Amino acid sequence: MAEKTIQLEVKRQASPNAEAVWEKFELEWRPGMNVTSALMEIAANPVDASGKETTPVTYDSNCLEEICGSCAMVINGKARMACSALIDQLEQPIRVQPLTKFPVVRDLAVDRSVLFENLKAVKAWVPVDGTYDLGSGPRVFPQQQEASYPLSNCISCTICMEVCPQFNEATGFVGAATIAQTKLFNAHPTGKVYKEDRLRALAGDGGVQECGFAQNCVEACPKQLPLTEAISDVSRDVLIQKAKDFLRA
Ligand code: SF4
Ligand code: FES
Q: 59 and 136 share a domain?
A: no
Indicate the residue among 71, 94, 110 that finishes a domain: 110
Q: 206 and 148 share a domain?
A: yes
Of all ligands present, the nearest one to the C-alpha of 163 is 1
Q: Into how many domains does the chain fold?
A: 2
Can you give the pLDDT at residue 1?
Answer: 58
Indicate the residue among 110, 144, 161 that finishes a domain: 110
In whole angstroms, how far apart are CA 162 and each of 63, 107, 112, 214? 21, 17, 10, 13
Can you give the pLDDT at residue 166?
Answer: 98
Question: Which residue's CA lies nearest to atom 6 of ligand 1?
Answer: 154
Structural domain range at position 127: 113-248
Residue range 64-116, pLDDT digits in tens: 999 999 999 999 999 999 999 999 999 999 999 999 999 999 999 999 999 99
Q: Is it the case that residue 196 has pLDDT exceeding 90?
A: yes
Kindly state the percentage of the chain with pLDDT values over 90.
93
* Pairwise pLDDT comparison (127 vs 100), residue with the higher score: 100
Q: Is it the case that residue 187 has pLDDT exceeding 90?
A: yes
Q: Is it the case that residue 2 has pLDDT exceeding 70?
A: no
Whole-model pTM?
0.95
In whole angstroms, how far apart are CA 133 and each of 32, 127, 129, 137, 193? 48, 14, 9, 11, 19
CATH number of residue 214's parent domain: 1.10.1060.10
Ligand 1 centre to CA of 243 (Å) is 30
Q: 101 and 122 share a domain?
A: no
Residue range 156-178, pLDDT digits in tens: 999 999 999 999 999 999 999 99
Which of ligand 2's atoms lies nearest the C-alpha of 68? 2
Indicate the residue among 57, 79, 110 that finishes a domain: 110
What DSSP string describes 183-228? HHHHHSTTGGGGHHHHHHHTSSTTSGGG-----HHHHH-TT---HH
Q: 126 and 79 share a domain?
A: no
Q: 200 and 118 share a domain?
A: yes
Q: 153 and 66 share a domain?
A: no
- Between CA 111 and CA 136 the distance in angstroms is 37
Query: What integer is the mean pLDDT of 186-197?
Result: 95
Residue range 216-248, pLDDT digits in tens: 999 999 999 999 999 999 999 999 999 999 999
Find out whether the beta carbon of 176 lies less than 6 Å from any atom of ligand 1: yes
Q: 178 and 196 share a domain?
A: yes
Nearest to 47 by CA among 23, 83, 31, 30: 23
Mean pLDDT of the chain: 96
Q: 103 and 118 share a domain?
A: no
Find out whether the beta carbon of 218 lies less than 6 Å from any atom of ligand 1: no
Q: 79 and 124 share a domain?
A: no
Q: 150 and 225 share a domain?
A: yes
CATH number of residue 41's parent domain: 3.10.20.30
